[in-house]
Amino acid sequence: MRQAWRVADVRSAEEALMAHLPAGTLMQRAAAGLARRCALMLDQRVYGAGVTLLVGPGNNGGDALYAGAMLARRGASVTAVVLDPERVHQAGLKALRAAGGRAAATPPATVDLIVDGIVGIGAKGGLRSGAATALHRTLERRGRRGQRPVVVAVDVPSGVDVDTGNVEGVAVRADVTVTFGCLKPAHVVGPAAPLAGELELVDIGLRPWLRTDPAILVPDRADIARALPKHGPGDEKYTRGVVGIATGSATYPGAAILSTWGALAGPAGLVRYAGSAREAVVQAHPSVIATDRLADAGRVQAWVVGSGLGTDDAAATAVRMVLATSLPVVLDADALNLLVDGAMADLMRGRSAPMVLTPHDREFARLAGEEPGADRVGAALRLAAHTNAVVLLKGDRTIVATPNGLTYANPTGTAALATGGTGDVLAGLLGSLLAGGLRPEVAAITAAYLHGLAGREAARHGPVTAPDVAAALRPVQAALTG
Ligand SMILES: NC(=O)C1=CN([C@@H]2O[C@H](COP(=O)(O)OP(=O)(O)OC[C@H]3O[C@@H](n4cnc5c(N)ncnc54)[C@H](O)[C@@H]3O)[C@@H](O)[C@H]2O)[C@@H](O)CC1
Ligand SMILES: Nc1ncnc2c1ncn2[C@@H]1O[C@H](COP(=O)(O)OP(=O)(O)O)[C@@H](O)[C@H]1O
Ligand SMILES: [K+]
């Protein structure tokens, strides 16, 4: 599990660590890691390479200057575009000059590599106009072979909000971000996350000094493989768990087919369907046991209710019946819209069994009374605390937040999933994982992770539809569990 810490926690840890080290040690460690990655980005052809440092007024600029000095010593032609000469890191600039580098007001003609040292964890808002102009000008330059310059961001891509991952205004889009000590939220959530490009974490000895809980957890393949239930010779369908699906309708049978499809790709031993799309579901999935009425559905270990259900009386009755059980529940799409009703919301808040709400931004706004806004993690945590449910807030980097303050971010998102019906597949899979006995937050992040992998897998074969995503869920799990 990768972990991200907020700026205040990083600063406290840095202070504690620095008290034990000679001045400047941390910056030297950071710069060495940065220079090593820059050389790699130049395919180790450092001699003669055109390197432009964009240098802001703080320590982020200092990192860039020391790394630039190391590259200059290896024969690179290094130019520092200093944005605020009065506040530049003087010792760093001196080191660069001593190594044969130079400072200039504008970038040189040839730029193979841009080092973004404009601003790091001291950033406020989007890039200011001077920095934005220097960035754009440098990006217009070309390298020795006429190629566009590679962009390496120092710590974070400049211009992003480090604690929330929000981006307002101009920000750097990096090919690689070399960060120090630990990841920060902007690397893993919000519109900032894709701007970081590939992430490299340089160990500067900070980890033992990070004494607070991380703000965000990011699972990797091994975490997800571990979380998936293992089946053995003693298992039969009921021990694996049964998932009940109350989605879709005669008007929207597709939602029912897609959510049962997602459920069938999960660990549950049996999928039951209850609703007015019964015939269509059985035709599409012969292994599903289907009834018209929820009351006749039989025993399950978890329910999925919502997508394609509509918001009429029958839909409200289905949601109420599911909420009245003491089973884990996934509330998706129309179920979320019905929760806006006060009595229904009270019913939800009064439950003690696990619940997962799976809103996209508009559903979130209806439920919470406002859009998730700039701080998506904060917004998801507030809704989770208010509803006493795990909240899976969909997006490019889907967030899972728990009522007791834990946050996960999914790293496998892909824009290929931004197509009708993929959310239904996700809800079904999530229900199957709940029925399989996973804790709700683990089920939620596991579902999001697998769903993202399936989206990526489906996209390898062309434009993606929701059935493609459902069909890819099994092969991606097979690849994951080996
Ligand atoms: N503190 C430490 O021990 C270490 C810090 N390191 C580096 O130091 C950085 C933090 O340095 P600082 O605290 O000096 O802060 P920064 O270098 O991130 O920012 C400093 C200044 O940038 C300007 N600025 C803020 N927002 C801006 C914007 N949107 N557009 C243009 N300019 C803006 C402000 O004048 C601000 O004071 C880290 O990100 C990392 O790169 C590393 O050297 C590792 C060790
Ligand atoms: N721009 C995007 N990039 C990556 N993933 C996205 C994007 N937009 C939506 N998604 C994902 O696609 C899925 C869409 O779900 P949802 O909005 O409920 O669609 P539907 O109701 O059509 O099934 C979610 O898993 C969401 O995280
Ligand atoms: K930066």
The answer to whether 121 is annotated as binding is: yes
> Which residue, by CA, sits nearest to atom 42 of ligand 1?
27
Res. 180: pLDDT tops 90: yes
Q: Tell me how far the alpha carbon of residue 156 lies from the centroid of ligand 3, in angstroms.
A: 5
- Residue percentage of the chain with pLDDT more than 90: 96
Q: Which ligand is nearest to the CA of 31?
A: 1
CATH 3.40.50.10260 at 2-212, yes or no = yes
Question: Using CA atoms, how far apart are residues 280 and 256, in angstroms rounded to an integer?
Answer: 8
Res. 57: pLDDT tops 90: yes
The answer to whether 384 is annotated as binding is: no
Q: Which ligand is nearest to the CA of 255?
A: 2
Mind listing the pLDDT tens digit for each residue in 198-256?
Answer: 999 999 999 999 999 999 999 999 999 999 999 888 887 878 899 999 999 999 999 99
Q: Is 276 in the pocket of ligand 2 (CB under 6 A)?
A: no
- Residue percentage of the chain with pLDDT more than 70: 100
Handedness of CA 254, 260, 262, 265 (dihedral sign): negative
Residue 64 is encoded by which pair of tokens? 């860039």
Q: What is the pLDDT of residue 398?
A: 98
Average pLDDT value for residue range 467-472: 98
Atom of ligand 1 nearest to the CA of 154: 41
Q: What is the pLDDT of residue 473?
A: 98
Q: What is the pLDDT of residue 238?
A: 79
Q: What is the pLDDT of residue 482?
A: 84
Q: Which ligand is nearest to the CA of 131?
A: 1
Res. 10: pLDDT tops 90: yes
Q: What is the pLDDT of residue 236?
A: 79
Considering the domain delimited by 221-481, tell me its CATH architecture: 3-Layer(aba) Sandwich (3.40)
Q: What is the pLDDT of residue 19?
A: 95
Mind listing the pLDDT tens digit for each residue in 299-320?
Answer: 999 999 999 999 999 999 999 9
Q: What is the pLDDT of residue 234?
A: 83
Q: Tell me how far the alpha carbon of residue 253 lies from the centroid of ligand 2, in angstroms.
A: 19
Average pLDDT value for residue range 339-365: 94
Res. 67: pLDDT tops 90: yes
pLDDT confidence tier of residue 426, bands split at 50, 70 and 90: very high
pLDDT confidence tier of residue 378, bands split at 50, 70 and 90: very high
Best residue among 337, 360, 367, 473 to mutate for probing ligand 2's pocket (most ligand atoms within 8 Å of CB) is: 360
Question: Using CA atoms, how far apart are residues 313 and 229, in angstroms rounded to an integer?
Answer: 37
Atom of ligand 1 nearest to the CA of 124: 26
Q: Is 360 in the pocket of ligand 2 (CB under 6 A)?
A: yes
Mind listing the pLDDT tens digit for each residue in 332-347?
Answer: 999 999 999 889 999 9
pLDDT confidence tier of residue 161, bands split at 50, 70 and 90: very high
Q: Is 397 in the pocket of ligand 2 (CB under 6 A)?
A: no
Q: What is the pLDDT of residue 372?
A: 97
The answer to whether 126 is annotated as binding is: yes
The answer to whether 394 is annotated as binding is: yes
Mind listing the pLDDT tens digit for each residue in 107-151?
Answer: 999 999 999 999 999 999 899 999 999 999 999 999 999 999 999
Q: Is the pTM of this model over 0.90?
A: yes
Q: Where are the domains of the chain?
A: 2-212, 221-481
Q: Tell me how far the alpha carbon of residue 120 lies from the centroid of ligand 3, in angstroms.
A: 5
CA 471, distance to chain mean position in Å, is 23
Q: Which ligand is nearest to the CA of 159?
A: 1
Main-chain phi, psi angles of 324, to 5 degrees: -75, -15
Q: Is 85 in the pocket of ligand 2 (CB under 6 A)?
A: no
Q: Would you say the CATH fold of 221-481 matches that of 2-212?
A: no
The answer to whether 116 is annotated as binding is: yes
pLDDT confidence tier of residue 262, bands split at 50, 70 and 90: very high
Find out whether 398 and 409 touch, Cβ atoms under 8 Å: yes
Atom of ligand 1 nearest to the CA of 31: 43
Q: Is 361 in the pocket of ligand 2 (CB under 6 A)?
A: no
pLDDT confidence tier of residue 368, bands split at 50, 70 and 90: very high
> Which residue, by CA, sits nearest to atom 41 of ligand 1?
60
Mean pLDDT of the chain, nearest integer: 97
ipTM at complex level: 0.89
